[in-house]
């Protein structure tokens, strides 16, 4: 083994994205390498510009002390969501690239099959693990502790570590754009294709370690959230008084605890096959890839509900708030959520109906799958009944919610169709399936996350987002989705296989052209979101909501200032009923100065999360490229950091009661000076976050 190999492992000049075009300058190589190098350049330039700007403005210390080492659940949540948006941008551009390739794919198109394979693999991997998961975890982080009336999650440092591991995984996926090639095995990474025999490159290794890091981080998040909800609820907050969003956060956390281990097992066993010559999923010597299919989907199906339940929670907050009504059928919504969580473990086999089980087994899982439609239907009716005769305002979160309700039912219907094994045999592996799960995940998950982003943004940052750009974005998402994915149902029925780079039958062209048009509208939706953020930040002074309750809403997070103080609640609230803050407003007990303030203990900053982020990124990068010294050093550093953390004793800081009192009384004074606004005026500039209590009392009668 040469010295270069010891130092650089498999890393060499040909790992760079423009190498093959330089060596073999054919037209296909030049086109593909230009796209890949452009993307790599974007990553490098983007990173360089970010670093440069931070240095130029001298913000490194601020970034380190206020954000990266912060263990405040609100800040960790915001960092998760920033990560989600960055990754969303990348994966969405990849989606548009794929749609464009297929629109011009009659007889070839411009992308090579390998390049296309990388695109659908990174698109799926990123959207699930580094967009959807960080987004919902971020939202839960910001909101759930406020809703249950506590000052932080149960394990704040572990929260930071979870973020660090997820960010390390995302970094690995970004690095794969610059050096080496990503897996072409799809987001599910099925062996034996991803085994060393068929994919000897670094691609599947990038996938394995990125996904493993995300999986471990998410499992810790699940433990953290579940323990927080079980142990840290404010006095009087019984389980059946929790806001629905917290309920869905709880069910999602329980799913994370039980569904992430199968993913870790699947990826680690695949890694053992690839690195040490084991025979779990190989073709030869007793390997059995069906074990992988079972393990992966034992994670994969509950994962679908990990993604969707928090979105259901968001809708259950948004719809009552913007209908001016109490949530209809609270108990049935709780039971439906728990039923979905339970059933989600009983349906995994429907992902491989065609892989050789008996008809009896398929029928059992088909029926179990259809059963999930029942609790989901209950939810849709509950939301509709919540809106019935309400004071509905078409704000951005409400527009997303309405778009969701209509489109999600369509997706659910196609799901019931797919749940029938005999139909599944006909359409499996076609674009019909692709249309179905995008129909569930875009209106279901993404609309929910974006609705939550608009709804809670004023709480997290203290000012409202621009409504007009938000509306433009929402409409682009809704209509772009319809144009992009409804043709895919037809294409699937016409037999167009999924993950296809090119085709030879012109009948597909018109449908693909419409889908391309839709993809461009979705790209415009992303553009609107960016513009909206810029405009909103510029106009922040006009849109401040220091009162903290801009939507006249009912859960506890609205009872405190916006943005909330570090310690969230000056005095922990006593809860006597569901919709605690609405009840307080109705009884005139909101905004009363507490009798007594006490010292507040808060966790100190910890660098552990960021240290583990860096060591995990180096360790996995070394594993991908077989740079063993790097793996060894990074592992040792990881262990050393964890041991060092065990010796830390001074991990709490105290905020004196006097300071809490002064801050809180000042805020109450601010609230007293705010002009309360009615529901009709909430989009006007006058909305400074105080609801017209008169109107609230009327609504109660």
Partner 1 sequence: MNGDTLDNPGFRLSAIHHHVDREDEVRFGFWVFLMSDAIIFGLIFATYATMIGATAGGPGPKKLFDIGSVAIETGALLLSSFTFGMASLALLYRSGRGVVIAWLVVTLLLGLVFLGFEVHDFLTMFALGGSPDRSGFTSAFFALVPLHGLHVTTGCIWMVVLIGQMLRYGTDEDVRLGVQRLALFWHFLDIVWIAIFSLVYLGGLA
Contact residues for partner 1 (CB under 8 A)? 150, 154-155, 219, 222-224, 226-227, 230-233, 235-239, 257-258, 260-262, 264-265, 269, 272-273, 276-280, 284-288, 291, 295, 298, 639, 643, 646-647, 649
Question: Between 280 and 408, whose beta carbon lies closer to partner 1?
Answer: 280
Nearest-angstrom CA–CA distance, 521 and 515? 10
Task: Find the shortest distance in angstroms from Cβ 259 to partner 1.
Answer: 9
Q: Which tokens is 365 given?
A: 């899982």
Q: Which residue, 12 or 272, is less far from partner 1 as judged by CB? A: 272
Least separation in angstroms between residue 155's CB and partner 1 is: 6
Give the end-to-end CA distance of the chain in Å, rounded to a whole number. Answer: 82
CB 287, min distance to partner 1, A: 5
Q: Does residue 494 sit in helix, strand or coil?
A: coil
What are φ and ψ of residue 188, in 5° steps? -95, -10
Residue closer to partner 1 by CB (options 292, 455) is 292
User: Nearer to partner 1 by C-beta: 79 or 257?
Assistant: 257
Minimum separation from the CB atom of position 152 to partner 1 (A): 10
DSSP letter at 674 equals S
Helices (H) and strands (E) in the chain, counts: 25, 2
Closest distance to partner 1 from the beta carbon of 178 (Å): 33
Whichever of 226 and 434 has its CB closer to partner 1, that residue is 226
| Least distance between partner 1 and beta carbon 191 (Å) | 13
Which residue, 235 or 680, has its beta carbon nearer to partner 1? 235
Tokens coding 360: 């009896």
Contact 408, 380 (CB under 8 A): yes
Q: Where are the beta strands (DSSP E) in 389-539?
A: none
Task: Give min distance, CB of 648 to partner 1, in A.
Answer: 9
Calpha distance 204→194 (Å, rounded): 6
- For β-strands 652-655 and 600-603, DSSP reports them as antiparallel
* Shortest CB 77 distance to partner 1, Å: 19
Nearer to partner 1, 62 or 275 (CB): 275
CB of 76 to partner 1, least distance (A): 17
Element (H, E) at 653: strand 652-655
126 versus 271: smaller Cβ distance to partner 1: 271
Closer residue to partner 1, CB minimum distance, 236 or 656: 236
Question: Quick one: which of 327, 200, 307 has its CA closest to 248?
Answer: 307
CA-to-CA dists, residue 58 to 61, 78, 224, 467, angstroms: 8, 21, 34, 33
Closer residue to partner 1 (CB): 302 or 412 = 302
Task: For residues 653 and 97, give the distance between their C-alpha atoms in angstroms, rounded to a whole number.
Answer: 50
What burial class does residue 490 get, using C-beta atoms within 10 Å of its C-beta: 0-12 exposed, 13-18 middle, 19+ buried? middle
Residues 593 and 668: their CA atoms lie apart, in Å, by 7
**Under a CB-based contact definition with an 8 Å cutoff, are residues 610 and 616 in contact?**
no
Closest separation in Å from C-beta 639 to partner 1: 8
Rounded least distance, CB 65 to partner 1, Å: 24
d(CA 179, CA 232): 45
DSSP 55-88: HHTT-HHHIIIIIIT---HHHHHHHHHHHHHHHH
Between 12 and 633, CB nearer to partner 1: 633
Considering the complex, what minimum distance in angstroms separates the CB of residue 27 from partner 1? Answer: 43
Identify whether the C-beta of residue 124 lies closer than 8 Å to the C-beta of residue 186. Answer: yes
Task: Rank residues 107 and 286 by Cβ distance to partner 1 and give the closer one.
Answer: 286
The residues, any chain, with a CB within 8 Å of residue 511's CB and separated by 6 or more, are 487, 488, 490, 491, 494
């Amino acid at each position: 083994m040469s010295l270069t190999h010891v130092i650089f492992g498999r890393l060499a000049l040909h790992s760079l994205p423009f190498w093959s075009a330089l060596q073999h300058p054919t037209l296909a190589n030049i086109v593909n390498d230009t796209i890949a190098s452009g993307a790599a350049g974007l990553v490098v330039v983007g990173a360089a510009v970010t670093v440069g700007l931070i240095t130029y403005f001298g913000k490194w210390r601020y970034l380190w002390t206020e954000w990266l080492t912060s263990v405040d659940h609100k800040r960790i949540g915001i960092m998760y969501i920033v990560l989600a948006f960055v990754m969303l941008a990348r994966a969405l551009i990849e989606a548009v690239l794929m749609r464009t390739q297929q629109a011009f794919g009659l007889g070839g198109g411009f992308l090579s099959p390998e390049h296309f394979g990388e695109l659908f693999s990174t698109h799926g991997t990123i959207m699930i693990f580094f967009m959807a998961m960080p987004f919902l975890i971020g939202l839960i982080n910001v909101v759930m502790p406020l809703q249950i009336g506590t000052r932080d999650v149960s394990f704040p440092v572990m929260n930071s570590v979870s973020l660090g591991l997820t960010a390390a995984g995302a970094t690995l996926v970004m690095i794969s754009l610059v050096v080496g090639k990503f897996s072409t095995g799809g987001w599910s990474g099925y062996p034996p294709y991803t085994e060393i025999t068929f994919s000897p490159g670094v691609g599947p290794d990038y996938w394995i370690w990125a996904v493993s890091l995300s999986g471990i981080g998410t499992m810790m998040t699940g433990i953290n959230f579940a323990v927080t909800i079980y142990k840290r609820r404010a006095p009087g907050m019984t389980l059946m008084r929790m806001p629905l969003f917290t309920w869905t956060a709880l069910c999602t956390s329980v799913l994370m605890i039980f569904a992430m281990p199968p993913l870790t097992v699947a990826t680690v066993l695949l890694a053992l096959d690839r690195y040490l010559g084991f025979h779990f999923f190989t073709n030869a010597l007793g390997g059995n890839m069906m074990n992988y299919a079972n393990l992966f989907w034992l994670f994969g199906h509950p994962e679908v509900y990990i993604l969707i339940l928090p979105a259901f929670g968001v809708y259950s907050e948004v719809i009552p708030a913007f209908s001016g009504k109490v949530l209809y059928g609270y108990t049935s919504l709780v039971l439906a959520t728990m039923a979905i969580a339970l059933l989600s473990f009983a349906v995994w086999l429907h992902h491989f109906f065609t892989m050789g089980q008996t008809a009896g087994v398929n029928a059992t899982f088909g029926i179990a799958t259809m059963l999930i439609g029942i609790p989901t239907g209950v939810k849709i009716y509950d939301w509709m009944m919540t809106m019935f005769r309400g004071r509905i305002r078409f704000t951005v979160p409400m527009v997303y919610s309405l778009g969701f309700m209509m489109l999600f039912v369509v997706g659910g219907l196609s799901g019931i169709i797919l749940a029938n094994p005999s139909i599944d045999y006909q359409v499996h592996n076609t674009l019909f399936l692709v249309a179905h799960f995008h129909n569930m995940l875009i209106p279901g998950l993404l609309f929910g996350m974006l609705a939550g982003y608009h709804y809670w943004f004023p709480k997290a940052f203290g000012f409202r987002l621009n409504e007009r750009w938000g509306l433009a974005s929402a409409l682009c998402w809704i209509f772009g989705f319809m144009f992009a994915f409804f043709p895919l149902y037809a294409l699937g029925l016409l037999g167009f296989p999924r993950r296809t780079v090119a085709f030879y039958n012109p009948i597909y062209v018109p449908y693909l052209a419409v889908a391309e048009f839709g993809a461009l509208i979705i790209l415009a939706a992303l553009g609107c979101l960016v513009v909206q953020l810029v405009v909103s930040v510029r106009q922040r002074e006009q849109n401040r909501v220091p009162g903290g309750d801009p939507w006249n809403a009912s859960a506890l997070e609205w009872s405190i200032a916006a943005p909330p103080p570090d310690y969230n609640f000056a005095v922990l609230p006593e809860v006597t009923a569901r919709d605690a803050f609405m009840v307080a407003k109705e009884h005139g007990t909101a905004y009363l100065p507490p009798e007594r303030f006490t010292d507040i203990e808060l966790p100190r900053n910890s660098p552990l999360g960021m240290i583990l982020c860096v060591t995990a990124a180096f360790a996995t990068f070394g594993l991908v490229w077989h740079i063993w010294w790097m793996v060894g050093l990074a592992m040792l550093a990881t262990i050393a950091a964890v041991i060092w953390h065990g010796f830390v004793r001074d991990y709490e800081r105290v905020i004196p009661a006097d300071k809490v009192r002064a801050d809180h009384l000042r805020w109450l004074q601010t609230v007293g000076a705010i002009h309360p606004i009615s529901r009709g005026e909430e989009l006007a500039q006058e909305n400074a976050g105080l609801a017209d209590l008169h109107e609230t009392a009327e609504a109660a009668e």
